[in-house]
Amino acid sequence: MNQDLTQQWLTEIQVIKEQMAGLQQERDAAWESAQKWRQLYNTEAEQRRTDTQLSQQAIASLKADLHKLQGFEVETLAAGTPVTAIQQEIEQIKSVEDLQAKLIAAIKERDRLLQALKTEQDNHAQTRNSLTTALGDAIDSLTRERALGVGDKETVGKG
């Protein structure tokens, strides 16, 4: 009876050991799965942070462009600006520093417009040259086709 009890205890211990080994394997698998999910989460979070940073930079750039355009409209006098508007702007200048600031802004705007004009002129010249070349090529091609067409007609007429 004592041996049966010992055997029963040993069997139960063996079953518990096997259950424990199975549970440890499940725990390890769950740990690995959790690690993979953490890795995926961290990768996704990093990507979101990068996207957010890029979006914030784009927003800042667009805001700067908007302020620049709004400032351009406010500070730049159009060719058709009435004299009274110009006089009012001049009257707002109270010191030499204000005048210098206005002059600097005007010079910067002039330089920007000159650069834009030069770029536009260069683009126009390049387009004109491209179109002239294309037109010349088309005329040459037409001349060759006509020359070949006339020669073919003469050959056909003699035959």
| Dihedral over alpha carbons 15, 16, 18, 23 (to 10 degrees) | 140
What's the pLDDT score for residue 159? 46
Query: Residues with Cβ < 8 Å from 99, sequence gap 6 or more?
Result: 93
What's the chain's average pLDDT? 84
CA dist., res. 159 & res. 141, Å (int): 27
CA dist., res. 101 & res. 93, Å (int): 10
- Please write the tens of the pLDDT for every residue from 90-126: 888 888 888 888 889 889 999 999 999 999 999 999 9
CA dist., res. 62 & res. 56, Å (int): 10
| Secondary structure percentages of the chain, helix, strand, coil, to 5 | 90, 0, 10
Span of 7-16, 22-31, 73-82 with lowest mean pLDDT? 73-82
157 pLDDT more than 80: no
- Please write the tens of the pLDDT for every residue from 11-30: 999 999 999 999 999 999 99
Confidence (pTM): 0.36
| C-alpha distance across the termini of the chain, in Å | 127
For residue 109, count CB atoms less than 10 angstroms from its CB and return exposed for 0-12, middle for 13-18, buried for 19 or more. Answer: middle
